[in-house]
Structure 1
Amino acid sequence: MRLSDLNRLRTAPCLSASEKNLIISELQAQMTLYRWFTAGIMACSADQAVQSLRQLEQHLAWPTHQLMTDTEVSGPVYLKANQQTLSARLRIEHGLGEGILISGHGNDNTEPSATWGPLPLDLFEPTA
Structure 2
Amino acid sequence: MTNKSIFVNLPVKDLPRSRAFFSNLGYAFNEQFSDETGACLVISESIYAMLLTHEKFQGFMPKGNSLVDAKKSTEVLIALSCESREEVDELVARALSAGGSTFNEPQEHGFMYGRDFQDLDGHVWEVFWMDPGFVNKA
TM-score (norm 2): 0.32
Bigger radius of gyration, 1 or 2?
2
Q: Relative to total residues, which structure has the larger strand share, 1 or 2?
A: 2
Q: Which has the higher contact order (CA 8 A, sep 6+)?
A: 1
